[in-house]
Structure 1
Amino acid sequence: MEKSVHRPTAWHVTHWSADPFSLGAYSALLPGGTRQHRSDLGQVLHERLVIAGEACDTRAPAMTHGAWNDGQRAAKAAMAAGARKVIVIGAGCAGLAAAQRLRGQGIDCIVLEARGRTGGRTHTVELGSVKADEGAAWLQHFAENPLAAIAQRQGLPCIETDFSRPLAAASDGVLPDVEGAWAAFIERVDRQLPLSEAISGYMATLDPAGVRATQFAIDANLVLEACLPVTQLSVSALDEEGVGHGDRMLPGGYSELVDVLAQNLDIRLNTPVTHIDWSRAGVRVNDETCDFCICTVPVGVLKTLHFTPELPETQQRALAHLGMGKLEKVILQFDERWWPSSSSGYLRWYDVPASWGEWLDLTDAVGKPTVAGLIAADAIARQFSGRTDEQIAMAACEALEAWAAAIGPTP
């Protein structure tokens, strides 16, 4: 590989797909999956066990506030069951929400967390003096986001990202009207067909320019959002909202907010759970027993847990229609900002095949030239396979350089 012209001074590469406590980034609807499967997964079982988290939330799946809201739902279920002692599995946003709600009601609650830290798929890393999020990075749907309200009450800075105005370029020529192509696709695609068939049928009606624009739109607005190839996605994934509703980032990192959410809770770190026995009136988790268990582990991990008895058919069917999207991030830091500056801080790169499609320029927020790039689905294997973290970071840097060259000089 040729040496990059602009070598970063520091970098961080994520590996959420290989992390045994996440096995992916967030939930996605597999072929045949619907929002009903999310609701089904979260049904309360015999007033003593409930699965909770972003995968069960139909309003904000794959988002931290979806996890928080569903954790609150689970806590209400425990209270309705008259639980006096509750075990919460997982100290991510859902687990912390449930534990805080229960603690506020004076209910005995312990949180078992497999990692040596809280936060789950939210985690802030440090590159020198700069803090950046390797997991969730935005407070989405800000106006209606309860985590945003908490952040504001705590006085945490929040910086808006305008996703409607990316500084964008394509690797193979002039950038087409990607958003126009997406709007036309959403309006005309046959939703009665499996998604991959629906896309193929729609593409067959377009000229080459239309196919190119639509492929860019699908790569950016569907694959990069749901984080799986279209062959592994339900047509219902088209209806699940993503970014773009006044979303704001935390320049000090999500961990500042997580630390607030975890205050005054009984959290047992480095305590992985593999077996949940809910065969009796009391639930047994590891060596602990309780009246009620709230399990908030990610879908990928949930499928590896052993339940006694097995989960009912409804939950098993729901799990079969839910998978984990694959999304990774590289954070690159430089001595100077050599790339074109975007007023929105949001960059888009339409590559063939898709690669590092989405970038957030953190420079103005953190005070040092820093960018974070996102890559999803099968593009991860193309960029990660057989490479060290340093090689992955350099490949991402080359993609950023290609984007900057395609943009050309900007004011």
Structure 2
Amino acid sequence: MDSLRHHPIRFHVTHWSDDPFSRGAYSSLLPGGTPEHRRSLGEVLDGKLVLAGEACNPVAPAMTHGAWNDGLRAARIAIEAGARRVLVIGAGFAGLAAARHLREAGIECVVLEARDRLGGRVHSIALGPVWVDEGAAWLQQFNDNPLAIHARQLGLPLRETDFGQPLAAAADGTLPDIDAAWEALRAGIDRSLPLADGVARYLESRDEAVRRATRFALDANLILEACLPLESLSVDALDEEGVGAGDRFLPQGYSQLVAHLAEGLDIRLNRPATAIDWSGDQVRVADESADFCICTVPIGVLRDIHFNPPLPPAQQNALDHLGMGQLEKVVLQFDERWWPVSPSGYLRWYDTPASFGEWLDLTDAVGTPTVAGLIAADALERVFAGRSDEEIALVACEALQAWADALRRL
């Protein structure tokens, strides 16, 4: 890293893919997967067990409010089933939503959380004088987001990110029209083919300029969003909603919202669920029993839980078509902001092969020169494998420096 002109004074590297309680960032559609698989996964079983979370939400998958809304759905099912005592597995947003709704309905509810903290894949940490989010950072689809209502009621500081106006650069020359390339691909691809084959067929008859623009569009708008390589994604992943609807982040950390939503709930930490027995009148999890269970663990962990009896074929089939996207974040903090300033706070870097393609400049929001870079899918293996966190942070810094240099050459 001798080429580095700027070294971070602090950094943080996430490892969600290795986290035993998540095994990835969020759910993605595998080949052949459709939104209907998400819906099937969340169907109530024998009137006493339901799986819930962002993976079960066909409207807002991979989003915190998608998890929240699905937790509410699960709670309503428990109420309709006449449940008097409910076990909720997991204290992420789906579990918190379910538990709050049940408590408000006067139903006894116990939340069993495997971690020693709340929030699941939402976790704010201190980095020097500021708070940064390891996992989820944005309140997405803001105008339709129930969590945004809670944040506003609490008076939490919010900062909008205009994903449509990134300060962007490409490593190999002038930046093409990424949005046009993306829409042309979505309109022109043969959707009867597996995604990777459809992309290859689409690119066959295009010139090199279109192929380059399309590769960049795929890197930014699909692979960095769904967090798996093309070969591991469904064609339907092209249509799942992502960022860009008035999204806002919380400069003081997402965990403050978690703490508020957990107030008054019976949450028991360090209680991983390894088995769920729903064979009798009562559902049993370790030494707890209830007449209904809502299981909100991420699908990467769901496969490790022993269900008795096993999950029915519809749920097994749904799980076969859903995977965990692999996405990590590197947060860098410096003595000064040495990179070009984006009016939107949003940066995009197009390189071949892809690396840290998406950045959020937190500096103005938190008051300290801080940026967070995202890296996903097969780029993780190239960058993370065999490197220490410090080495990964320096590779990220190198990518940020290359982006800044490319902008200055324009």
TM-score by length of 1: 0.99
Residue 205 of structure 1 deviates from its aligned partner by: 1.6
Which whole-Å CA distance do the structure 1 matches of 2:155 and 2:238 have between them? 36
CA change 1:115–1:3 in 2 (3 A) is farther
Write the letter of the residue equivalent to 2:34.
Answer: T
- Answering whether residue 366 of structure 2 is matched by residue 366 of structure 1, we say yes
Find the counterpart in structure 2 of residue 344 from structure 1.
Answer: 344
Find the counterpart in structure 2 of residue 310 from structure 1.
Answer: 310
Give secondary structure in 2 for the equivalent of 1:293.
Answer: strand
Find the counterpart in structure 1 of residue 263 from structure 2.
Answer: 263
Give secondary structure in 1 for the equivalent of 2:16.
Answer: coil
CA change 1:73–1:140 in 2 (3 A) is same
Which whole-Å CA distance do the structure 2 matches of 1:23 and 1:115 have between them? 13
Matches within 5 A, 1:11-410: 11-408=11-408
Whether contact under 8 Å (1:42, 1:56) holds in the other structure is yes
Give secondary structure in 2 for the equivalent of 1:60.
Answer: coil
Which whole-Å CA distance do the structure 1 matches of 2:118 and 2:409 have between them? 43
Which whole-Å CA distance do the structure 1 matches of 2:316 and 2:335 have between them? 51
Write the letter of the residue equivalent to 2:31.
Answer: P
Which whole-Å CA distance do the structure 2 matches of 1:190 and 1:347 have between them? 31
Gaps of at least 5 residues in structure 2 are none
- CA displacement, residues 319-341 of structure 1 (integer Å, 9 cap, x when unaligned): 00000000000000001000000
Which whole-Å CA distance do the structure 2 matches of 1:380 and 1:3 have between them? 22
Alignment RMSD = 0.8
- CA displacement, residues 295-336 of structure 1 (integer Å, 9 cap, x when unaligned): 000010001110000000000000000000000000000010
Residue 409 of structure 1 deviates from its aligned partner by: 7.5
Residue 157 of structure 1 deviates from its aligned partner by: 1.1
Which whole-Å CA distance do the structure 2 matches of 1:408 and 1:137 have between them? 29
Residue 109 of structure 1 deviates from its aligned partner by: 0.4
Write the letter of the residue equivalent to 1:197.
Answer: D
Which whole-Å CA distance do the structure 1 matches of 2:115 and 2:394 have between them? 29
Which whole-Å CA distance do the structure 2 matches of 1:409 and 1:342 have between them? 16
Residue 401 of structure 1 deviates from its aligned partner by: 0.2
Which whole-Å CA distance do the structure 2 matches of 1:39 and 1:116 have between them? 30
Q: Which runs of 4+ in 1 moved over 4 A?
A: none
- CA displacement, residues 60-118 of structure 1 (integer Å, 9 cap, x when unaligned): 00000000000000000100110010000000000000000000011110100010000
Whether contact under 8 Å (1:69, 1:94) holds in the other structure is yes
Give secondary structure in 1 for the equivalent of 2:265.
Answer: coil
Which whole-Å CA distance do the structure 2 matches of 1:205 and 1:116 have between them? 54
Which whole-Å CA distance do the structure 2 matches of 1:2 and 1:386 have between them? 19
Which whole-Å CA distance do the structure 2 matches of 1:250 and 1:88 have between them? 27
Which whole-Å CA distance do the structure 2 matches of 1:178 and 1:3 have between them? 30
Which whole-Å CA distance do the structure 2 matches of 1:185 and 1:393 have between them? 34
Which whole-Å CA distance do the structure 2 matches of 1:270 and 1:397 have between them? 36
Which whole-Å CA distance do the structure 1 matches of 2:409 and 2:362 have between them? 20
Give secondary structure in 1 for the equivalent of 2:98.
Answer: helix
Which whole-Å CA distance do the structure 1 matches of 2:264 and 2:2 have between them? 51
Which whole-Å CA distance do the structure 2 matches of 1:17 and 1:4 have between them? 28
Which whole-Å CA distance do the structure 2 matches of 1:126 and 1:18 have between them? 21
Residue 2 of structure 1 deviates from its aligned partner by: 2.8
Residue 38 of structure 1 deviates from its aligned partner by: 0.2
Which whole-Å CA distance do the structure 1 matches of 2:233 and 2:376 have between them? 13
Write the letter of the residue equivalent to 2:45.
Answer: L
Write the letter of the residue equivalent to 1:219.
Answer: D
Alignment size in residue pairs: 410
Write the letter of the residue equivalent to 1:206.
Answer: R
Which whole-Å CA distance do the structure 2 matches of 1:65 and 1:401 have between them? 34
Write the letter of the residue equivalent to 1:242.
Answer: G
Whether contact under 8 Å (1:340, 1:409) holds in the other structure is no
Which whole-Å CA distance do the structure 1 matches of 2:121 and 2:64 have between them? 9
Write the letter of the residue equivalent to 2:278.
Answer: W
Write the letter of the residue equivalent to 1:27.
Answer: S
Which whole-Å CA distance do the structure 2 matches of 1:339 and 1:239 have between them? 33
Residue 4 of structure 1 deviates from its aligned partner by: 2.2
Which whole-Å CA distance do the structure 2 matches of 1:52 and 1:309 have between them? 18
Which whole-Å CA distance do the structure 2 matches of 1:340 and 1:296 have between them? 41
Which whole-Å CA distance do the structure 1 matches of 2:125 and 2:217 have between them? 31
